[in-house]
């Protein structure tokens, strides 16, 4: 690898100074190959006075110093070390680039992690600035700061865990690329997962809902579909008729989950198929113009009108599906596959909710009052 200084003509008797790289280098900011670096310096083509002679002399000395430094950095890198100028680059920008490579709902978690980090530091952080104290302070910040979209509420513990894990993943990648000297991912432990309260509807609750009339038929069908299929709202919202196949007693959905970007093949019942409505063109959405806020408000009013005193969200419908399946004897492995969980551990939390042995034990002790 060779680095040389080259002049490029400018107007008004001037030349721009450029560094030429041969062969081409990979630009760390965008991953593209580059053959030159603009030093943003100029010299006079034909100096006309002592000031211009002096300017040329000093500018060439500066350019030669930069050229020698770049040459040394390249040699250092060839021997397994990282040039200092790379460690002086922005970790904020690096974190953002990693987030932008993600897809689906995973991008939203990465994006939130980046936004909270930028809110925490309030300035550009270089790789050289990263240390254990900064990592621990960011962890504490996530546990105490309010949510970005609701200043009255703090970040949920498990949400803070997720955002901090994205930050630690960025640290791990930076360490692998030798942009930081210490494996901060290893020496700064993540947060421990806190078991969240799983709210769900019982079969008695569902009967109350069905006995309570509503005027928003599309919202009602979306909610009932969530209960009997366990689909996430984003997947229901994105569902198109080309994703719906089969015939009576053998209907199924074949789609890519937005959260995990995993292809999912889900058998559905005849009743679930009827909730989809009349079949339209393949590229049309099954539920056109349905929005999360619309369903969120509907899930406040409908249970309330039915006399159900529970805070129900669309995620609770997914919990309802899992707990009802367990109650009807479906094995946990099958439920995990139907829900599209990556790990069986994610599904196991429902077994703690629907532990029949606990219920039976509680009913065994009956006092003669």
Task: List, for residues 313-358, the tens digit of each pLDDT value.
Answer: 998 999 899 888 888 888 888 888 888 887 777 777 766 666 655 5
Distances (CA, A) of 187 to 82, 94, 169, 175: 21, 21, 13, 12
- Report how far residue 284's alpha carbon sits from residue 294's, in angstroms, rounded to the nearest whole number: 20
* Residue ranges covered by each domain of the chain: 2-81, 91-187, 215-360
Q: Please tell me the pTM assigned to this model.
A: 0.59
β-strand partners of 114: none
What topology is assigned to 215-360 in CATH? Answer: hpI Integrase; Chain A (1.10.443)
pLDDT of residue 81: 47
Residue 33's pLDDT band (cuts 50, 70, 90):
confident
Contact 22, 35 (CB under 8 A): yes
CA–CA separation, 266 vs 257, rounded Å? 11
Structure tokens, 258: 């937005």
Instruction: Decide if pLDDT at 359 tops 70.
Output: no
Q: What is the mean pLDDT of the chain?
A: 86
In this prediction, residue 223 carries a pLDDT of 96
DSSP-derived secondary structure for 106-142: HHHHHHHHHHHHHHHH-SPPBGGG--HHHHHHHHHHH
Is 60 exceeded by the pLDDT of residue 151? no
């Amino acid at each position: 690898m060779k680095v040389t200084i080259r002049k490029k003509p400018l107007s008004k008797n001037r030349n721009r100074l450029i560094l030429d790289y041969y062969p081409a280098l990979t630009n760390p900011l965008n991953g593209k190959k580059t053959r030159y670096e603009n030093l943003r310096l100029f010299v006079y083509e034909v100096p006309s006075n002592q000031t211009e002679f002096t300017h040329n002399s000093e500018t060439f000395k500066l350019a030669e110093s930069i050229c020698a430094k770049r040459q040394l950095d390249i040699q250092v890198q060839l021997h397994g070390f990282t040039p200092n100028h790379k460690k002086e680059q922005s970790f904020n920008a690096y974190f953002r680039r990693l987030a932008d490579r993600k897809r689906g709902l995973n991008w939203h978690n990465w994006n939130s992690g980046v936004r909270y980090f930028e809110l925490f530091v309030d300035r550009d952080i270089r790789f050289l600035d990263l240390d254990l104290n900064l990592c621990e302070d960011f962890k504490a910040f996530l546990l105490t700061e309010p949510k970005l979209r609701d200043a009255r509420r703090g970040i949920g513990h498990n949400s803070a865990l997720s955002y901090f894990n994205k930050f630690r993943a960025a640290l791990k990648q930076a360490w692998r690329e030798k942009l930081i000297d210490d494996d901060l991912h290893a020496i700064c432990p993540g947060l421990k997962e806190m078991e969240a309260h799983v709210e769900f509807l019982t079969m008695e609750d569902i009967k109350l809902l069905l006995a309570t009339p509503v005027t928003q038929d599309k919202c009602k069908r979306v909610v009932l579909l969530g209960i009997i299929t366990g689909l996430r709202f984003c997947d229901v919202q994105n569902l198109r008729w080309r994703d719906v196949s089969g015939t009576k007693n053998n209907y199924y959905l074949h789609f890519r989950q937005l959260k995990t970007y995993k292809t999912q093949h889900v058998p559905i019942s005849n009743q679930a198929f009827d909730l989809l409505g009349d079949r339209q063109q393949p590229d049309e959405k099954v539920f056109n113009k349905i929005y999360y806020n619309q369903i969120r408000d509907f899930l406040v009013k409908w249970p309330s009108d039915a006399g159900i005193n529970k805070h129900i969200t669309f995620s609770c419908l997914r919990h309802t599906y899992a707990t009802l399946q367990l109650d009807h004897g479906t094995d946990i492995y099958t439920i995990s596959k139907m829900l599209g969980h990556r790990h069986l551990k994610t599904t196991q939390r429902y077994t703690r909710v629907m532990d029949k042995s606990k219920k039976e034990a509680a009913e065994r002790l009956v006092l003669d009052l």
